Amino acid sequence: MDRLRQRADFLAVANGARVNSPAFVLQSRPRDDGGPIRIGFTVTKKNGNAPARNRIRRRLRELVKRLDPVSMQPHHDYVLVGRRDALSRDFATMLDDLRMAFTKPARHTHKGQPKAPSERRGQRPSHAPATSRKPD
């Protein structure tokens, strides 16, 4: 299992499926290559100062170490986004939450992708020419 380190990889995973938990959000994305499972960790500044964010990140890393890699799908990238509750939540409960997150069907999101013309109500397709009619 490798680590995600490049910003572009984190952004790609952010557009994939996600599963919410009180202590973290698990984001996942399948890859086309035959590489190993990669996982990244992130905690935003709204979760506290640097020591608090580092503690959250350390707890998330330890969760992944204790999790059996069989529960993760091969050729996938994963990102664990830490939440403030990761500081106070029981570690065993968090481990159960992570196991459930890997087995639960994920909620798929497609950020930044335009909707299909049938989904855009009242709008003409982008390929249709604009017509202007002058009043007679």
User: Which SS3 state, helix, strand or coil, does residue 23 take?
Assistant: coil
Opening angle at CA 83, ends 104 and 6, nearest 5:
85
Which own/partner contact pairs does 112-115 have at CB distance under 8 Å and 24+ positions apart?
Answer: 112/15, 113/15
pLDDT of residue 132: 56
Question: Using CA atoms, how far apart are residues 41 and 60, in angstroms rounded to an integer?
Answer: 7
Of residues 31 and 136, which shows the higher confidence score? 31
Q: What is the pLDDT of residues 89-117, one digit of tens each?
A: 999 999 999 999 998 765 665 555 544 44
pLDDT of residue 42: 97
| The dihedral formed by the CA atoms of 69, 73, 79 and 81, expressed in degrees to the nearest 10 | -80
CB 39 within 8 A of CB 80: yes
Rounded mean pLDDT of 2-22? 94
pTM of the prediction? 0.75
Give the pLDDT band of residue 135 (cuts 50, 70, 90).
Answer: low
Contacts of 109 (CB under 8 A, 6+ apart): 15, 16, 17, 18
User: Which SS3 state, helix, strand or coil, does residue 24 take?
Assistant: strand
Structural domains of the chain sorted by starting position, each given as residue range(s) with its CATH number in brackets: 2-106 (3.30.230.10)
Of residues 49 and 119, which shows the higher confidence score? 49
Q: What is the pLDDT of residues 34-88, one digit of tens each?
A: 889 999 999 999 999 999 999 999 999 999 999 987 888 888 999 999 999 999 9
